[in-house]
Amino acid sequence: MDLVLIESLGVDTVIGVYDWERTITQRLVLDLALATDVRPAAADDDIALTLDYADISERIEAFAAAHDFALVETFAERLADTLREEFGIAWLRLTVRKPGAVPAAAAVGVQIERGARPGAA
């Protein structure tokens, strides 16, 4: 199994449980590992044969702009479902961080894995 990586993708969205958080956008920082087989794309040097990280990044930005959730957990779960369905991703690991949410921490967040990891026994 190969992984396409998207690291430290910043998106702005309405996220939070407090009333004041519902009136502003806040930055989330995402890391993704997306399972695929890169060999066909590498053999033909053809982006159509792999997961296009530019297209996926644009979709994530659009998702963040179009939705608002109270919980980072909900954001992560719904985004994972969207990406798996729209891009045919069999397995992914998604980390969503919310910088500054806890003053004593650089960021808080969640990491989820969804789908069947190709080649896993």
Give the β-pairing of 68-69 and 91-99: unpaired
Q: Would residue 57 show up in a list of annotated catalytic residues for this protein?
A: no
Given 35, 72, 98, 109, which residue is catalytic?
98
51, 4 Cβ separation under 8 angstroms? yes
52, 28 Cβ separation under 8 angstroms? no
Beta strands in the chain (DSSP E): 2-15, 26-36, 68-69, 91-99, 107-115
**Measured distance CA(99)–CA(118) in Å, rounded:** 32
Residue 7 backbone phi and psi in degrees, to 5: -120, 140
Q: Could you give the residue numbers annotated as active site? A: 98
